[in-house]
Structure 1
């Protein structure tokens, strides 16, 4: 018997502008949906302006669910569209 952990694969993005990296981080945190973590936020400086821009990308990190099957093919068959298998262990 194998036990697998899976979670949904979902991302969302938001664009923000700020005068400092601290302001950018505060703005991104205020836009972070529940259950999501910030995974990317490359910052670009605007020529001739004291403004930083970024597009923050958040990925869902909650809703981890356990599934069981007799073999690895059976586990993969239980993972629905839009979900990913995170880990597998023996029971």
Structure 2
């Protein structure tokens, strides 16, 4: 027997569900872009000429860093400190 009827339960759960969707979206964004970055690195690593390799990294690998960083920054704001196993980026700035 439920405490709330379906309408009440949906109303009470909507914020939790939105949070779960938001977390899942950022995790998916990280995974998708990390996988794509790894593939771009594989291509770049096959280049023998160091200058051409550097240009390839700059043009094809580096752009993934900003996208991945964006999703991680958003997750750091959402996920509670007790559940985040690593130092957060803002904390790294002040670790000596």
Q: TM-score, normalised by structure 1?
A: 0.34
Q: TM-score, normalised by structure 2?
A: 0.33
Report the structure number with the largest CA radius of gyration: 2
**Between structures 1 and 2, the one with greater helix share:** 2
**Between structures 1 and 2, the one with greater strand share:** 1
